[in-house]
Amino acid sequence: MCDLLRINTDRGVMIGDGKSRFSINGKPIYHFVGTSTFSEYTVMHVGCVAKINPEAPLDKVCVLSCGISTGLGASINVAKPRKGSTVAIFGLGAVGLAAAEGARIAGASRIIGVDLNPSRFEEARKFGCTEFVNPKDHNKPVQQVLAEMTNGGVDRSVECTGNINAMIQAFECVHDGWGVAVLVGVPHKDAEFKTHPMNFLNERTLKGTFFGNFKPRTDLPNVVELYMKKELEVEKFITHSVPFSEINKAFDLMAKGEGIRCIIRMEN
């Protein structure tokens, strides 16, 4: 959330002098989101660099740079479920599965996965999900289904789809008095969040998070250590690996919803 370094897709140049560090045949090539990690060598602002354990395998911990840390932190740092509590996870892609993993690490006793794709349910068991709800299987709002399953509502919910209806459902499914909903997914720019004010007056809490409330430079090394101590399993998030020349195959996998994370190997 740093004013200087927050994600800026339009900048494309170094902050210090407003120039690019890349060129080809005298023409500048612009930086991508301040990191330009599709390049074998790159130049970036010191504030974008986190020093991690040199023993950590880069072909594994690279997945901690975005979605996995975001979902994990949304549960551990923001939702903060207590041991024995009930958590609903909306969306079982990589971020949602990481949120489920975070709820499992925190000691939640029931982790309910909500997704329109039932093929994801079996995979989600590996990440701590204990029950599943497909909204298409019910003729009533999913928040009502969850409330009936949990005697009034879940203790915590984490929304990882970016769909505005799922965001509203995630908020309205938490228990009044103490329920906390955390929004992680990025909505459409024109989306509007609409709910009755009584949902707030009944002491439900709505929170948002960016990168799981981790501070990259100081917190990412600690997340890597969780992996090194085998408290966080990273391998199960990595389902495919392709060389850079087959990057479009990786996009195809993502578009089809197949696999969780695909590693791009920077080789010819």
Judge: domain 67-213, CATH 3.40.50.720.
yes
Mean pLDDT of the chain: 93
Predicted local distance difference test score (pLDDT) of residue 210: 92
Residues of the chain with pLDDT under 70: 268
Predicted local distance difference test score (pLDDT) of residue 268: 60
Predicted local distance difference test score (pLDDT) of residue 144: 97
Predicted local distance difference test score (pLDDT) of residue 9: 75
- Contact, 238 vs 61, CB < 8 A? no
Predicted local distance difference test score (pLDDT) of residue 267: 78
Domain boundaries, the chain: 1-49, 67-213
Predicted local distance difference test score (pLDDT) of residue 219: 95
